[in-house]
Chain A
Amino acid sequence: MEQEYIITTESLVKSYRLGDGSDLTVLDHMDLKLPKGQLIMIMGRSGSGKTTLINVLSTLDGFNEGSIRLLDQEYSTMNEAAKEKLRRYQMGFVFQSVALIPAMTAYENVDFGLRTAGVKKGRHERIQEVLEIVGLADRGNHYPVQLSGGERQRIAIARAMAHRPPVLFADEPTGALDTESGHRIADLFLDLAHKEGLSIIMTTHDIRLSEKADVLIRL
């Protein structure tokens, strides 16, 4: 069976203009083919361009040359509104800084994610389902401040995947967590990729986590 790719890049170039006027090229003619339904890890030292790559892939940042396609959608032809739409409906995000809304409970945070993606029906069932998946079905009424770092990150994952996006981006999702929590998150990602068919692209600098990746990209 032919391998399906969630994202493909061709000759992707991303450079930054430095203060002295010179250009720093972070991604230099990068060709990537990221398979669907797998846990893809981008690994590298600090400053190697992990976050730049994931930001470019997730449309949070632009690029200078080349092309990126999410399924059959080409980024370079999209305006900002189209990119917003893409992020809203077809992507999920998990960040290193636990980005839950403090005024909302775990349940409401997930609900917020669903509403953002325009899901109108069956929200309650889906919320229960994803909370179950991340193992926090009993913590729905808790506020972020009442949860541990790992639990908060799992709620963030639940929110990111609740609307069933084809791809989930996670930038250093375990960066602020202890080793054990980090591994539990990585296992969860692996499960989600294999059982839910979700394509997960995450960055990490933890070599031990990289062992769990289906695809490992070293920068």
Chain B
Amino acid sequence: MIRYILTKIKNKYKLYLCLVCGMVSMILVFSMIQMFRSGSLNKVIQAGFAKQNETSGVFPANISGETIVTELSLEEGLEKGVSIEDNINDQTDSYVKTWDSKLKLPVISDQRMLYYLNQRPETPYHGDSLVLNLGCFDDGLEESKTESHFVLDAGAMFEGDISEYTASALEIPEGAYPAVVSRSTADKNDLVIGEILRFPLLVYSKDPGVKDPPVLTVYISGIVSERSGDYFWQRSLAKSTQMLILRKSDFMQICQEYSRPVKVEFYQSLDYRQITSENVESVRASLASIRKKDDKVKENLTPVLTKYKVESRSVQQMVYVIVLPLAVLIITFIGLISFRIIESETRELQTLRDRGLSKIRLIETYFLSSLLLSQISVPIGLLLGYWFGKMVAGVDDFMGFSAVGRINVSDYVFTPAMIVGAEIAALIGILINLVPVILFFGRKKDQRRISIVPFWEKYFLDVILLVISVYLLFNYKKQLPILSESVMQGDGIDPVIFIDATLFLFACGLMMLRLIFYVIRILFKIGEKHFSAATYAGLLQIIRTRKSSGVISVFMVVMVAMSLFHANMARTINSNKEARLHHEIGADMVIREKWPITLVKSYDDEGNTVYNWRYTEPDAGLFRKFIEDGTFSSMTKVANDPDRMTVQGRDAKKKITGVQLMGINTKEFGLTADMKNGLNEEHFYTYLNQLAAVRDGVIISSNLAQQLEVKVGDQVSCSFIPPSVTGMKNPYASANVKVVAVVDAWPGYNRYIYKQNEEGKIEEKEGYLVVMNYAYVNATYGLFPYDIWTKTDTAYKPFKETLKEAMKNASDKEERELSELLSTENEIAKEKETAIIQITNGLFTSDFLIALMLSLIGYMIYWITSIRDRELLFGICRAMGISGKEVNQMILMEQLFLSFMSITAGVGAGMITSRFFAPVFAAVYLPQKHSVGVFVTSIKADAVRLGLVLAVAVIACIIWIRRILKSLNITRALKLGED
């Protein structure tokens, strides 16, 4: 049987090769989506930790616990020959090992704090008023490195000469232990280097019978701080404001001599990079179990992982629903090829049946051949899936391959799930491959009923699908605000949106095809009497064979429609995100520097504390040199305060607080800022000119104008409150200004502000804006930090280093520090690496390429086999005297009509779907309202690219068919027909 199968495959190698192409594509897609799924989920996890780090300022994967090692257990240990150190370590390790065994995450740092709690020392200066903890730190990973985590600010690290820090010659009592303290401990407790502390309340337990037991004595040898950027300090040293830090060996010695319970706090930083989509659930469950077992355990991973659980749902849904149309397309392709194979083997099958082979036996041969081909396809599909997945994950736009290599794709790795995906795809491939042979045997032999109408046309499947999808679309459109909110709250995406888009796309494509067929039939009816034989035969062939050719037509339609729709959606999402970022940042790059502020405390007449403040302006000349060397083509100062302005209209009752104030130099601002056209009634230069003309003029946002019921020409009162650091809430300066313009949008201002409330829900708030002349702002409200807005095409990363270096070398007295460097280019690049955008660009691109490849193969194989099947017919036509040229014309017309029809229907369906579904998709991808409203981007180049590829396919097909026809020998064709 194997030999028979191999011979069969060899004889029809072209068709079987196509089948393998289909199976490889399916395996590629199924394995690739597994890679995308896990890669995207990994990205979501890592992005969650990065965000947590950014917002909280602490390492995002800490776990801590505490225990008390009682003096009794220490004594019992000693009796059993277990040293104090080993005893404490054993008891601590029992916790840590549980974490380790459950979480299975590498530990980056292991900070341990061992101490006697609340000890009261006596000192010559403080008497017995101090309450201190006496203990040591320990590096749980490498004890010998403990001291390396400290930086000695003053004195000595336990040992060394400290005489220069003491007022008089220091006499250290015999047996006194050296200790270091943090600056905060020293400041809070007024401790100084050389200070001697005695602990008379600690009972000397080593030898209870001894007379005059020694009193534990400690002296301060140095002031220490934590080494900057050291992961060891999960619990900051600055927080240990009561700790006398001893050497560990000394503290162990003390524990032997002065029996007290030892409190142990341990802090571990875990390598969260090892948390992946594969182990995330087990880590989450383990953390829950650890916390349940010990309520003193604290960790900050769970909020990130809980958020991930919600987000992961959306990500997974998105991965699956985006490839859904492609999966349908590939299944159709495999079905198409399988039907062709059965058609080409019909006679052979009938002969074998006549010779007595059972149906089961014949189906078995097809099953075995499918199994063989699918298993050949699995390794190929897997390898291609891995390679292709990596490649498309690196695109930064729809078909944006220029970014491959720049975009980080390290999260997209080979996973065992890919093999599972591949085998599922292979199984589906086998089942689809068996459908035609089963149907063949189920068919009645004498089937004389003629059906030229495809089933979807006959049963109005297109209309039904269209009605369903339009109904769903209508409902979604009604619920857009709810939909956006649910996405914002992280409740996931409704996958039906994507399915609905696919349904609509199919329905639209089929409907267009139906309409085009109607047009052809009308044309045929009109010209029927006058057509030449070739035109007559060609048109009838198109009309009557649309049931069989319909499959390839539907395939082409859906491919073109899907490709255009996906291209438009990806372009729309990318361009909207980019436009929003451009608008929010306002310029190519915005430099925000930390301004030193001097606060002077005083009291008002009523005795309340008030502050006078003064900002020190860093030398802006530093930035001028970037203009000189051409790094910036322009720059401007923008005094930008987010919320300290209060604006009042004529009606004193109407007052809006928390308004954003922007002080600008109109000319420079115009040259530097970015503003998308069409967001306001006029170009923004018009408003800048209006502001420039009025010294005390103000441009206000339209929502502010609406709230205060003011218009251009009205006066408004703008009061400014002191900086938040002063804690003062009353305005210190106020001015009446004239409204010169009302705008809907402005660079650097977004009307909609989204913040998380205490319940963790995202809330929408209106943002208001006033824009004044910079000089007027300075004169009225004093100097406050401004941003430097720049127009530049310099790359973010190298420029940041250059800027930092320039700041370091600046001649300012105070050390200059960069607070923030916002770059549109960098923010866009970061956005491109988010899981959702990477899925969208990557999968839409892969869908397009795979669909295109399959369409080309499907289209060519359909035509080639169709021509081969009709060789006899063409032989007869030639015998009847129809010239080769006319036969060519007949085929060409048929081919052009079908491909032209399909492409036209596809383009129509793609455009209509894009038009209707863009707002719904925007609710998913761009749920937040924005001053830059959602706009649909459709790039003609995509359609041209698609058209060119298809044109090449059609031309290749025509050339191939001409070759076949040219080599057509009439008598041989007739002979073959007779055979």
Q: How far is the CA of A89 from the CA of B536 in the complex (A)?
A: 18
Q: How far is the CA of A81 from the CA of B531 in the complex (A)?
A: 22
Chain B residues, CB < 8 A from A88: 880-882
Min CB distance, A144 to chain B, in Å? 10
Whether a CB of chain A sits under 8 angstroms from the CB of B889 is no
Q: How far is the CA of A115 from the CA of B873 in the complex (A)?
A: 16
Chain A residues, CB < 8 A from B600: none
For A71-93 the 0/1 string (1 means CB < 8 A from B) is 00000000001001111110101
Chain A residues, CB < 8 A from B872: 97, 99
Chain A residues, CB < 8 A from B801: none
Indicate if the CB atoms of A146 and B448 lie closer than 8 Å: yes
Indicate if the CB atoms of A85 and B881 lie closer than 8 Å: yes
Indicate if the CB atoms of B873 and A99 lie closer than 8 Å: yes
Whether a CB of chain A sits under 8 angstroms from the CB of B544 is yes
Whether a CB of chain B sits under 8 angstroms from the CB of A60 is yes
Whether a CB of chain A sits under 8 angstroms from the CB of B974 is yes
Whether a CB of chain B sits under 8 angstroms from the CB of A145 is yes
Chain B residues, CB < 8 A from A99: 872-873, 876, 977
Output the residue of B541, B882, B978 with the most chain A CB within 10 A. Answer: B978
Indicate if the CB atoms of B533 and A112 lie closer than 8 Å: yes
Indicate if the CB atoms of A95 and B531 lie closer than 8 Å: no
Given contacts A84-B883, A97-B978, contact A146 B971 (CB under 8 A): no
Partner of A89, one of B533, B876, B881: B881
For B963-976 the 0/1 string (1 means CB < 8 A from A) is 00000001100110
Indicate if the CB atoms of B971 and A116 lie closer than 8 Å: no
Given contacts A91-B881, A99-B873, A143-B450, contact A60 B540 (CB under 8 A): no
Chain A residues, CB < 8 A from B977: 95, 97, 99
Output the residue of B533, B544, B975, B977 with the most chain A CB within 10 A. Answer: B533
Whether a CB of chain A sits under 8 angstroms from the CB of B537 is yes
Q: How far is the CA of A81 from the CA of B532 in the complex (A)?
A: 18
Indicate if the CB atoms of B970 and A103 lie closer than 8 Å: no
CB contact list, A85-117 vs B, under 8 A: 85-89, 91, 93, 95-97, 99, 101, 103-104, 108, 111-113, 115-117
Partner of B879, one of A60, A89, A112, A176: A60
Q: How far is the CA of A146 from the CA of B532 in the complex (A)?
A: 26
Indicate if the CB atoms of A86 and B881 lie closer than 8 Å: yes
Q: How far is the CA of A118 from the CA of B450 in the complex (A)?
A: 30
Q: How far is the CA of A145 from the CA of B446 in the complex (A)?
A: 10
Number of interface residues, chain B, beta carbon within 8 A: 29
Min CB distance, B727 to chain A, in Å? 88
Q: How far is the CA of A96 from the CA of B876 in the complex (A)?
A: 11
Whether a CB of chain A sits under 8 angstroms from the CB of B545 is yes
Q: How far is the CA of A158 from the CA of B872 in the complex (A)?
A: 19
Q: How far is the CA of A93 from the CA of B880 in the complex (A)?
A: 7
Given contacts A61-B971, A104-B540, A104-B544, contact A116 B881 (CB under 8 A): yes
Chain A residues, CB < 8 A from B544: 103-104
Min CB distance, B780 to chain A, in Å? 86
Chain A residues, CB < 8 A from B878: 84
Chain B residues, CB < 8 A from A143: 450
Indicate if the CB atoms of B873 and A101 lie closer than 8 Å: yes
Q: Which residue of B lies closest to A113 (CB)?
A: B880
Chain A residues, CB < 8 A from B540: 101, 103-104, 108
Min CB distance, A92 to chain B, in Å? 8
Indicate if the CB atoms of B881 and A145 lie closer than 8 Å: no
Given contacts A84-B883, A95-B977, contact A60 B533 (CB under 8 A): no
Min CB distance, B972 to chain A, in Å? 10
Min CB distance, B197 to chain A, in Å? 107
CB contact list, B221-277 vs A, under 8 A: none
Q: How far is the CA of A101 from the CA of B977 in the complex (A)?
A: 13
Given contacts A101-B537, A103-B541, A112-B533, contact A96 B978 (CB under 8 A): yes
Whether a CB of chain B sits under 8 angstroms from the CB of A9 is no
Indicate if the CB atoms of A60 and B545 lie closer than 8 Å: no
Indicate if the CB atoms of A104 and B978 lie closer than 8 Å: no
Q: How far is the CA of A81 from the CA of B878 in the complex (A)?
A: 11
Number of interface residues, chain A, beta carbon within 8 A: 35
Given contacts A116-B533, A145-B450, contact A87 B880 (CB under 8 A): yes
Chain A residues, CB < 8 A from B883: 81, 84
CB contacts between A and B, total, < 8 Å: 79
Indicate if the CB atoms of A115 and B531 lie closer than 8 Å: yes
Given contacts A93-B880, A115-B532, contact A60 B873 (CB under 8 A): no
Min CB distance, A3 to chain B, in Å? 28
Q: How far is the CA of A81 from the CA of B975 in the complex (A)?
A: 23
Min CB distance, B670 to chain A, in Å? 68
Min CB distance, B760 to chain A, in Å? 66
Given contacts A146-B450, A175-B978, contact A87 B537 (CB under 8 A): no
Q: How far is the CA of A96 from the CA of B875 in the complex (A)?
A: 13
Q: How far is the CA of A85 from the CA of B536 in the complex (A)?
A: 19
For B533-562 the 0/1 string (1 means CB < 8 A from A) is 100110011011100000000000000000
Chain B residues, CB < 8 A from A128: none
Chain A residues, CB < 8 A from B882: 84, 88, 116
Q: How far is the CA of A108 from the CA of B974 in the complex (A)?
A: 22
Chain B residues, CB < 8 A from A116: 533, 877, 880-882
Min CB distance, A134 to chain B, in Å? 18
Q: How far is the CA of A61 from the CA of B543 in the complex (A)?
A: 34
Q: How far is the CA of A61 from the CA of B536 in the complex (A)?
A: 28
Indicate if the CB atoms of A112 and B536 lie closer than 8 Å: yes
For B452-463 the 0/1 string (1 means CB < 8 A from A) is 100000000000
For B512-545 the 0/1 string (1 means CB < 8 A from A) is 0000000000000000000111001100110111
Q: How far is the CA of A60 from the CA of B977 in the complex (A)?
A: 15
For A16-45 the 0/1 string (1 means CB < 8 A from B) is 000000000000000000000000000000
Chain B residues, CB < 8 A from A96: 978
Q: How far is the CA of A39 from the CA of B536 in the complex (A)?
A: 33
Q: How far is the CA of A86 from the CA of B882 in the complex (A)?
A: 11
CB contact list, B644-659 vs A, under 8 A: none
Output the residue of B532, B537, B975 with the most chain A CB within 10 A. Answer: B537
Given contacts A112-B537, A146-B450, contact A97 B881 (CB under 8 A): no
Q: Which residue of A lies closest to B873 (CB)?
A: A101
Output the residue of B531, B872, B873 with the most chain A CB within 10 A. Answer: B873
CB contact list, A42-82 vs B, under 8 A: 51, 55, 58, 60-61, 81
Indicate if the CB atoms of B536 and A115 lie closer than 8 Å: yes
Given contacts A143-B450, A146-B450, A175-B978, contact A93 B536 (CB under 8 A): no
Q: How far is the CA of A108 from the CA of B545 in the complex (A)?
A: 15
Indicate if the CB atoms of B536 and A84 lie closer than 8 Å: no
Output the residue of B533, B536, B541, B881 with the most chain A CB within 10 A. Answer: B881
Indicate if the CB atoms of A111 and B536 lie closer than 8 Å: yes
For B864-879 the 0/1 string (1 means CB < 8 A from A) is 0000000011001111
Indicate if the CB atoms of B545 and A103 lie closer than 8 Å: yes
Min CB distance, B975 to chain A, in Å? 8
Q: How far is the CA of A55 from the CA of B972 in the complex (A)?
A: 11
Q: Which residue of B lies closest to A169 (CB)?
A: B879
Q: 26 A–B contact pairs at CB < 8 A?
A: A51-B971, A58-B879, A60-B879, A85-B881, A87-B881, A88-B880, A89-B881, A93-B876, A95-B876, A95-B977, A95-B978, A97-B872, A97-B974, A97-B977, A97-B978, A99-B872, A101-B540, A101-B541, A101-B873, A103-B540, A103-B543, A104-B544, A112-B533, A115-B531, A115-B536, A116-B533
- Given A84-B883, A99-B876, 16 other A-B contacts at CB below 8 A? A58-B879, A81-B883, A84-B882, A95-B876, A97-B977, A101-B540, A103-B544, A103-B545, A104-B544, A112-B536, A112-B537, A115-B531, A115-B532, A117-B881, A145-B450, A171-B974
Q: Top 4 closest A-B pairs, CB basis?
A: A88-B881, A87-B881, A103-B544, A115-B533
